[in-house]
Every structure is written in C-alpha cells, then in structure tokens.
Structure 1
C-alpha cells in the first residue's frame, strides 16, 4: 500500500535509543504519533529505548487510510517491534485506543512481551456497528480530539473512512476472540468518561485476559485521548512504575 500524501508535521514516527529495555508505543485509530509522543518522551528520559511507529495510512490523509487494512496496521507495529528487538533484551508495549487493541494483539502473538499498558483500549464499539449496513457514505465525521482539557487538539483526521471502520471492527473481533491468550502483566488505564470507546471495554479486558498480574487504574479527569489530557502525568507515573517493578 503506497501512500499518496505527505506525512503531516507532528505525525512522524519517533525513535529514542536508550538502554536494553524497549518500549513500543502505539497511537490509535485515525490519530497520529502526536498523541503518544509525551509518554514516549517521558519514557526515553528515564533511559528506555522507545519506538513510536506511525500506523500505515495514518498521519497523511484520510484517503490514504481508506486504502489500508488492519493487517497493514499490525505490520506497522511489528516493524517497530523488530526495530526494538535488534536493540533490546526486554520489550514492553503501551497503546492508546486502537493502539491498545494492537497491544493486546501483540501480547496474544508475542508472549515474550514483558508487560503491556492499555489506555482506553478498544475491543468493542457498538456505535460503529451501523456501518455494516449497506450505505453510500464513504466518510463519517471525525472521532478525534475527545479531550477534556481546554485548548488541546489532537492531530487526527477530520473525517473517518467507513471502510476503515469496517477494518477496525474485524480487528477488534479477532483480538477479542483470542484475548484469553494474553498472559503478560497488564496495566489498564481507563477514563471514567470517554465519548469514543465505552469505558466498560477496559473492565471486560481486565476480566478476560489470563494475566495473574493485572491492575485497573481509573483516569478521573480525562476523556478518550487521555495521553494529551489532564491525567497525562498520572499515566506517565503509572507506566514508569509498572515497567520499573517488572524489571527489578
């Protein structure tokens, strides 16, 4: 899949070379690496090697996204994982929204992952199901920038391709069907109020994964894009503590 449009400023992938502990971070559906950069930078400042891939079809134009499949998004993450594997002995992963779905997918298929951090992760979004009905609409409204903090804007598409919604629905279904394969230690962070992914997704994930080591943390002052919202410092502190406690 060749992208026709240039990468938007701020949507570039990021790589920070540090110690032999790697952390893969994934942005979400229609979003960009901008949403994960503050967390990525905070992790890198602690000495970790961090990789934040740009998912194929993201961070350019929604017409590029329309042509991608969920396998393309998986491939983007697997490429980031390989980059880390060449440099690190131990790898963790953190993801926001569909980045959380991708994190679960990786935990299902790469059991050597040392731990996962999920931020408003998605395994079922009932409001998206209506696109399965035949219709002539190619694009729906944006789902980006669900942020409580005033004057903060997410770098995300202004339209959402219907074809891409069909792809994420298939992807969530696959991940949910295999969720019992997840054994990795899990930190699950969930906003009390989220207008994109119903918060009960996180409770469901908590119950369905097979991890003995798991923790659910409420984010009381953020909406969906919590990594750009009021609870950013809490997320950073929780993820750093989670990683540190699993490598000592």
Structure 2
C-alpha cells in the first residue's frame, strides 16, 4: 500500500470515528489527533484533512459510502496545499484516473453551509453577498500578528531564517501576515513577546479608535488581543 493510500485509509477511519457531527465533535477531534501513533507531521496532515471534510460534510454525505475514490478526490482537491498534504494530493487530486473519470458532485459555497445561513445573511439565498461570505468562511484564515516591540528586526530575521515570507498590512504598520502553516510557538521572538497573534479584524477595530500609543491619561485593555479574549467577553 502506498503512503497516500495509507493516509486515505487512516483519514476515512478517523472520519468515521468523528461521527456524529454534533457538539461533541471538537472533543472527539482533539482525542483522535492526540493518538500516540501520530507524529507532529501526521497530526498536521489529518487535522487538515478532517477540517476539510468537516467543511464539506454536506457534500461528502451525498457520496456513496463505498465510493472511496470520489471521497478521496474531493478531499484532495479541497484541502490546503501543504508539505504534509503533498503526497495525498498528488495521488488523488486528479479527476481522471487510469481506470475511469471521477465524477465529483456539483456544489457551490452555499451548498456547504447550514440551510439557515443564507437567510440570516441575505433575504434571498441566491444573493451574491451570501455566496461570497460563505466562500470566505470556508477558506482557511490567514495568520496575522501584531508587533509589540520597537525593534522588530529580530523577529524579521528569525522569520526569514525559517523561510517565512511576512507581508505587511497596507494600512497598519504593526500588522504582518504570515503563511497559515507557520508554527510561531517555536520562535524565540514569539516566546519573548515581540508580537501577538491577532486577527486583522480585531487590529483594524483597535486602530479605528485612534487611541494615543503613549501618553498619560486613561489606560485601555485590548480584550481581543489574546487567545480566547472575545469568547471571554461573550461569556
């Protein structure tokens, strides 16, 4: 059995064990990926495949249970192209195999989200904005950081040494976008607090308030800056 076919076998086994798709999915997913048989690269692979399957669950449900080829092809074409998924995509992403043509289900972004979604976003489910919003929600979010140092050169040098390309935001001088697969926890500059992972939306909200960076007077708490900050406010 090839590496890719073994990856497919494991992915389908994990997907089966993840069912049903209810509120218990996050806990089950965490437990499945904590399996000691998996190394860090395996975990990244199966995390990507399982999250892709979750985003496409409504379409995968229409594929016959025994149709392993169509299931694999859809997943390979939809998942992110990373070092971990390279072998899987090379083996299954083509819609034509040596044996036959793979007929993928026809679907759009609104076919992948819950039925109530379009009605919540727009009056008409066919409204272009609803489709665009659904497509954005189904796309892997970029990784944004906010610099918290007056000397960011050390962070830039560490990123460059690891081969990571940082893209500055056109309007926010302290905001930089990094590749989604970037593992910042391994960086010395991250551990030293030179920057914080923060969604660009939260950074833009803070910037729109036009608060003075350094001055006497009121002190402000950015409750969205840390992990879980917004969830804490909702709680």
Q: TM-score, normalised by structure 1?
A: 0.28
Q: TM-score, normalised by structure 2?
A: 0.29
Bigger radius of gyration, 1 or 2? 2
Q: Which has the higher helix share?
A: 2
Question: Which structure carries more relative contact order (alpha carbon 8 Å, separation 6+)?
Answer: 1
